């Protein structure tokens, strides 16, 4: 049995999620918390395997609870359920280890799929102390098959982002400027700046200002160590 805690301040949404849980075999509801501190109290005193967590909560946000769980290294998984669809918010949640992200409003089928994939993953890991690469790959592919990709800021497209990212990857470990990528892709520097800003905000890239002997300073970009992992949700 997987024990679930719902953290949601909207009573109607909390009740809907409760009914979804009751309709899903293998899951049992531990409780419902309308705030972060109440949720933490339940986590400390009850067995909780999975939390259905909203971001927008009174006082501290759901992300703060997620961070606290990770700092304490608790054996508790978090499935984020929120109306927040901003790419930087979703990226932040995924970086802190959420197992799934459902954007409100969502269908019961999507919710049920998320629970089924989570249940399957838990059962698989409990059945064997060691997984081979094939088993792990199959598990990870199933878990991510229906995860919705985060939306991009207005005016940006996934296809162009893929072109920009390919140009960045082709440069290896070398630093680069907006002009460099514009030349590599035949895309205007104005457009390239928007994509680089997205990657900077998502911590895919780091940026430094370099001063030359004459003229204005140039921004030089470098890929972070976790660049491939962090950009994956956007591609």
CATH of residue 67's domain is 3.40.50.2300
**pLDDT score recorded for residue 92:** 84
3-state secondary structure at position 107: coil
Count structural domains, the chain.
Answer: 2
**pLDDT score recorded for residue 144:** 52
Q: Which of 105, 64, 109 is nearest to 82 (CA)?
A: 105
Q: Name residue, tokens 């909203």.
A: 54
- The verdict on residue 76 lying in a domain is yes
Query: Based on the domain organization, do 119 and 181 belong to the same domain?
Result: no
- The verdict on residue 212 lying in a domain is yes
- The verdict on residue 108 lying in a domain is yes
- The verdict on residue 123 lying in a domain is yes
Query: Based on the domain organization, do 139 and 41 belong to the same domain?
Result: yes
- The verdict on residue 182 lying in a domain is yes
- Domain boundary (117, 144, 171) is at 144
Whether 1 and 29 have beta carbons less than 8 Å apart is answered as: no
Determine what percent of the chain is predicted with pLDDT higher than 90: 44
pLDDT tens digits along 168-221: 999 988 999 999 999 999 999 999 999 999 999 888 999 998 876 666 778 999
- The verdict on residue 228 lying in a domain is yes
Residue 161: pLDDT band with limits 50, 70, 90: very high
Query: Based on the domain organization, do 15 and 84 belong to the same domain?
Result: yes
Query: Based on the domain organization, do 180 and 127 belong to the same domain?
Result: no
Query: Based on the domain organization, do 8 and 99 belong to the same domain?
Result: yes
**pLDDT score recorded for residue 201:** 87
- C-alpha 69/C-alpha 66 separation (Å) is 5
Residue 58: pLDDT band with limits 50, 70, 90: confident
| Strands of the 50-53 sheet, one edge to the other | 27-33, 2-7, 50-53, 77-82, 100-103
- The verdict on residue 152 lying in a domain is no
Query: Based on the domain organization, do 162 and 140 belong to the same domain?
Result: no
Strands 205-210 and 218-223: antiparallel
Query: Based on the domain organization, do 51 and 123 belong to the same domain?
Result: yes
Structural domain including 183 reads: 158-234
Q: Is 153 left (phi over 0), alpha (psi -120 to 50) or beta?
A: beta
pLDDT tens digits along 10-55: 998 899 899 989 988 899 999 999 999 999 999 999 999 999 999 9
Query: Based on the domain organization, do 22 and 49 belong to the same domain?
Result: yes
- C-alpha 198/C-alpha 150 separation (Å) is 12
Residues 6+ apart with CB under 8 A from 211: 217
Tell me how many degrees the CA angle 131-100-98 measures, rounded to the nearest 5: 80
pLDDT tens digits along 117-156: 888 888 766 666 666 666 656 555 555 554 556 678 889 9
- The verdict on residue 149 lying in a domain is no
Query: Based on the domain organization, do 133 and 164 belong to the same domain?
Result: no
Whether 220 and 177 have beta carbons less than 8 Å apart is answered as: yes
Burial of 73 (0-12, 13-18, 19+ CB in 10 A): exposed
Strands 77-82 and 218-223: unpaired
């Amino acid at each position: 049995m997987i024990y679930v805690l719902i953290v949601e301040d909207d009573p109607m949404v909390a009740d809907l999620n409760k009914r979804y849980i009751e309709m899903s075999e293998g899951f049992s509801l531990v409780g419902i918390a309308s705030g972060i501190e109440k949720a933490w109290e339940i986590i400390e005193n009850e067995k909780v395997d999975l939390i259905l967590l909203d971001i927008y909560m009174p006082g501290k946000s759901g992300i703060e609870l997620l961070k606290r769980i990770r700092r304490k290294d608790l054996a508790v998984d978090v499935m984020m359920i929120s109306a927040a669809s901003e790419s930087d918010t979703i990226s932040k949640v995924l970086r802190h280890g959420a197992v799934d992200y459902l954007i409100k409003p969502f269908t019961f089928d999507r919710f049920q799929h998320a629970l089924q994939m989570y249940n399957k993953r838990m059962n698989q890991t409990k059945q064997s102390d060691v997984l081979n690469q094939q088993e792990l790959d199959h598990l990870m592919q199933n878990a991510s098959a229906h995860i919705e990709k985060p939306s991009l800021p207005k005016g940006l497209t996934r296809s162009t982002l893929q072109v920009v990212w390919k140009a960045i990857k082709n440069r290896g470990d070398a630093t680069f400027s907006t002009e460099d990528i514009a030349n590599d892709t035949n895309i205007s520097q104005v457009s390239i700046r928007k994509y680089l800003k997205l990657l900077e905000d998502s911590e895919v890239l780091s940026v430094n200002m370099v001063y030359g002997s004459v003229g204005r300073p140039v921004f030089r970009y470098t890929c972070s160590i976790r660049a491939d992992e962090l950009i994956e949700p956007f591609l």
